[in-house]
Structure 1
Amino acid sequence: MKYFSLNNRAHFATFEEAVVRGLAPDKGLYFPQEIQKLPDSFFKNLNALSKTEIGYEAIKNFIGKEIPKPELEKIVENTLNFDFPLVKLEKDVSVLELFHGPTLAFKDVGAKFMASSLGYFIKKGNLGKVTVLVATSGDTGGAVANGFLGVQGIDVVILYPKGKVSEIQEKQLTRLGQNITALEVEGAFDECQQMVKRAFLDEDIAQQRKLTSANSINVARWLPQMFYYLLAYKQLENKNKNTVFSVPSGNFGNICAGLVAQKLGLPIQHFVAANNANDVITRYFNTEDYAPKPSIQTISNAMDVGDPSNFVRILELFENDFSNLKNIISSYSFDDEQTKEAIKKVFQEMGYVMDPHGAVGYLGLKAFQKENPDYSGVFLETAHPVKFLETVEKVISEKVEIPTELAELNKREKKALQISDYEELKAFLLN
């Protein structure tokens, strides 16, 4: 499979090159040259297939022969070695729980797949040491840290905005040690992301370090997220009814992967991009004017993104046809008070505890169904509510049980370096 840069269609890379580089030399995101539709029989027979078989069939054409079948099957099996239950809450409303992985967040899937893929390429070739440089607004950092922990030949450097991730999220990326370094940045997530992108284009750094990114801009982080849309569809009670997926959206890699699954032939009719108060995309759907703006802090912090990187991939999927885009995607925005009310309502009426991101997804689904009552809907619960303990417990007025794997983190010391600007990041990378 070849990948081209969305900034320069004449620039091509193999899957391995796209994974190792992260971004194209011209700062463009990589995009597959083609998306081959899977046979209808694959979707009709999903119930008879294992998670590994489903994941392998979905991803194989994006990799081609660069990873042999037995190795790729092992990578997929390791990536999907936890549960992805679809839980029915009420008539035509189900929640896809994506928090049963090692860091209790949906990003475990992409992080594990990328770590295994990059580890394979390092073992087979002469890449030397690779530095994974990543910015996080919340869950990416912990998932990447866990996925790459102890992988030989890889150093991980994670930038996160000071005071703008939850306490548990911070513990997950600052208390592992080994090959993981956390950099606490004075600023918002957008500034962390800008620093990472700038570092990739810095020739001084390129001469000393081989950089790649583990944000969803990396194809090996982005594409595997389509797995759980397929696994959710397998669990649907009524596959004959129109179905909408409501996706809490920040950097838009998750929903973009769902749209790729649809391009593969997954019979899902519609998607909702559910935004918090960072409503750049919601406003775009209302005005057809894409106007990035500085992000603002919310209780659904992993979605605090003012200039979502992956939206350009969504535009490419729809050939920049706005009318076609609006036929498949709707977008709604909700503030913190609406999010809290949703958490409280669902807990009181259904006994189900949502995290703030899942609550935004729930609100997006209900808003769409109000306008389209003939749709059955699934919203994504992208993180365990315990990761937002203070917010959730205050809203539901009850304690949330802390999983044992998180309790272990409390025994470890926080290790993070403080930086405030790009020059300090550069100095660290060149040291």
Structure 2
Amino acid sequence: MMFESTKGTCPEAGFFEAMRRGLAPDGGLYMPVSIPGIDFSEHLSGSELHFAELAADMAQPYLDTELSEERIRSVARDAFNFPLELKEIGQNLYVLELFHGPTLAFKDFGARFMARLFSEQASKAGEKITILVATSGDTGSAVANGFYNVEGVEVCILYPKGRISRLQEMQMATLGGNIRAMEVSGVFDDCQRLVKQAIMDESLRSEIQLSSANSINIARLIPQSFYYAYASLLLQRMKMEMDAPVFSVPSGNFGNLTGGLVAERMGMATSGFIAATNQNSVVPEFLSGGEYRPRKSVPTISNAMDVGDPSNFSRIRYLFGGSDSAIRSALKGYWFDDNHTREAILELHRRTGYLMCPHTATGYLAASAWRKKNGSEKPVVVLGTAHPVKFRDVIEPVTGEPVEVPERLQSCLEGEKQAKELKPEFPDFKKALLKQA
């Protein structure tokens, strides 16, 4: 399959070339020239629904000219060697728990799949590549873990100083080896800008093979479609007479929501999508009829969604042919401040005992707001994006109860931080990259 830029002013590329580039030469984001349809019916039969097999079937059309079916299935089985769970927390209300991977965040799905594809590419091409990552929270730790000690790959992670949790920071800043962490004195948008500038800098690219593992990379986006289809199929297997679900998606850079839209275009059964955000409400304001006006992000307790200029919104526009009215018809948006988020965490915990991270809580709030406005009893699946322990500094004061730290996370909290401080200036970043190349 071939991929084209959302800006449409440069040549098409195969999957591995698009993955390696990260950004298209014209500054656009890669998307499939056509989104393939999938027959999901075979996954409704049988004794069990296997996520890795479903993922391989969905990945096959995108990778068919790059890897054999056997290698694609091997990559999927190795990447997705952890569970995902669908839990009912109310009448026809579910949480799809995507945080049972190594770093306890949904980013493990994209990062681990992508890391294995880069390893496949490196072994074929015999070259070394540097992966650049801007993170507002969980992307960095997931990428660091997924790429740690992957042969032929160096990783440079940029994160905003003082704007991520200590656990998130230590998960990516204590590994060392082929993982380099850079603590930027700015906000996430500064980190993302530096990554984009580096990838588009021809003189830098002539010295170093560069790519990105942010959600701007097509290899991160495609795996984020897999679990939507899994949840839809799982509900159909549980209750064949049930309406197709609505998905409520905590949204920052909007790659996760774009993945859901791709799954829908592939043939997944769904009744629609809800974009849930915090006070960085650029997209919900647009969906309510306002202009799309990016602005500087503001810090919140749901920090992975602190994005004022979501990169993947260009992909959403691409999918809808640039029609604002079509986007507004397909997506509903809601935003909530930190007080509402804390109240939601406490309310659900008191009522059911279920504990949500702040990001999942915005999805829960948006699902409730959508139901109230529409009077609908359709099933709603809230994407559970991170384990509560990653935000225990927020949650424990709210519930008054400690959040247990899984044993596998305790070691990174006790590790030595290895992060270089960086000003949000491109010349400084470029110099650092060339020095460590």
TM over 0.5: yes
Counterpart of 2:389, as a letter, is V
CA contact (8 A) 2:92 2:377 kept: no
Paired AA for residue 301 in structure 2: I
Secondary structure of residue in 2 paired with 1:292: coil
Whether 1:425 and 2:432 are equivalent positions in the alignment is: no
Aligned length: 430
Per-residue displacement from partner, 1:147-198 (whole Å, max 9, x unpaired)? 0000011000000000000010000010011100000000000000001000
Separation (CA, whole Å) in 2 of partners of 1:212 and 1:273: 28
The separation in 2 between residues aligned to 1:227 and 1:165, in whole angstroms, is: 27
1:174 is matched with 173
Query: Take 1:297 and 1:267, find their aligned partners in 2: how far apart are those partners?
Result: 35
Name whichever of 60-69 and 177-186 sits farther off.
Answer: 60-69
Contact 2:232/2:244, CA 8 A, preserved across alignment: no
**Counterpart secondary structure, 1:287:** coil
* Aligned match of 1:320: 322
Larger displacement relative to structure 2 (315-324 or 51-60)? 315-324
**Sequence identity percentage:** 45
Deviations 1:193-230 (A, max 9, x none): 00100011112211210000000100111110111112
Question: C-alpha distance in 2, partners of 1:304/1:85?
Answer: 26
Distance in 2 (CA, whole Å) between partners of 1:293 and 1:136 is 18
- What residue in structure 2 maps to residue 53 of structure 1? 53
| Offset, 1:235 | 2.4
Residue 9 of structure 1: CA displacement? 4.5
Is the contact made by 2:183 and 2:419 (CA closer than 8 Å) also made in structure 1? yes
| C-alpha RMSD over aligned residues | 1.3
- Whether the 8 Å CA contact 1:40–1:265 is kept in 2: the answer is yes
Which residue identity does 1:234 align to in structure 2? L
- TM value normalised by structure 1: 0.97
Q: What are the superposed Cα offsets for residues 269-290 of structure 1, whole Å, 9 maximum, x if unpaired?
A: 1100001000000011122411
Residues 10 and 25, structure 2, Cα contact 8 Å, conserved in 1: no
User: Once the two structures are superposed, what CA deviation does each residue of 1:23-55 show, in whole Å capped at 9, x if it has no partner?
Assistant: 111111001001111125346448654222211
Q: Which amino acid aligns with 1:310?
A: N
Q: 2: CA distance between counterparts of 1:154 and 1:385?
A: 31
2:232 and 2:245 in contact (8 A); partners too: no
Quote the Cα distance in structure 1 between the aligned partners of 2:264 and 2:31: 16
From the superposition, tell whether residues 156 and 10 of structure 1 become closer, same or farther in structure 2 (CA, over 3 Å): closer
Which segment drifts farther, 279-288 or 383-392? 279-288
CA apart distance, 1:10: 4.5
After TM superposition, the structure 1 stretch with the greater mean CA deviation from structure 2, 24-33 or 102-111, is 24-33
> Paired residue for 1:275, among 274, 277, 293?
277
CA contact (8 A) 2:59 2:72 kept: no
Is 1:363 equivalent to 2:365 in the alignment?
yes
Inter-partner Cα distance in structure 2 for 1:102 and 1:363: 27
Matches within 5 A, 1:97-176: 97-126=97-126, 128-176=127-175
SS where residue 11 of structure 1 aligns? coil
Residue type of the alignment partner of 2:427 = E
Structure 2 counterparts to residues 402-421 of structure 1, below 5 A: 402-420=405-423, 421=425
What residue number does 1:382 align with? Answer: 385
Aligned to 2:350: 348
CA contact (8 A) 1:242 1:374 kept: no
Note the C-alpha offset of 1:375. 1.6
Whole-angstrom distance in 1 between the partners of 2:259 and 2:19 = 16
Which residue in the other structure is 2:268 paired with?
266
User: Normalization by structure 2: what TM-score?
Assistant: 0.96
Aligned to 2:64: 64
Give CA deviations for 1:387-424 in whole Å, capped at 9, x if unaligned.
Answer: 01110001010000000111011221000000112221
Q: What CA distance in whole angstroms lies between the structure 2 residues aligned with 1:304 and 1:230?
A: 27
What residue ranges of structure 1 are gaps of 5+ in the alignment? none
The AA in structure 2 aligned to 1:66 is E
- Native 8 Å contact 1:112 1:148 kept in 2: yes
Q: Distance in 2 between matches of 1:426 and 1:185?
A: 13
Task: Tell me, in whole angstroms, the C-alpha distance in 2 between the residues paired with 1:390 and 1:190.
Answer: 24
**CA offset digits 1:90-116 (Å, max 9, x no partner):** 101111101100000000000001100
Aligned amino acid, residue 424 of structure 1? D
CA deviation string 1:367-386 (max 9, x = no partner):
11112223211101100111
CA contact under 8 A between 2:84 and 2:100: conserved in structure 1? Answer: yes
Q: Which residue of 2 aligns with 1:24?
A: 24
- Decide whether the 8 Å contact of 2:38 with 2:266 is kept in 1: yes
Contact 1:84-1:231 within 8 A present in 2 as well = no
Which residue identity is paired with 1:352? Y
Displacement after TM superposition at 1:298 (Å) = 0.2
Match of 1:285 in 2: 287
2:96 aligns with 96
Select which of 323, 327, 338 maps to 1:336.
338
Residue 185 of structure 1 corresponds to which residue in structure 2?
A: 184
Q: What is aligned with 1:252?
A: 254
Larger deviation: 65-74 or 100-109?
65-74
The more displaced of 156-165 and 33-42 is: 33-42
Q: Does 1:394 align with 2:406?
A: no
Letter in 1 for 2:345: I
- Partner letter of residue 280 of structure 2? N
Give how far 1:64 is off. 1.8
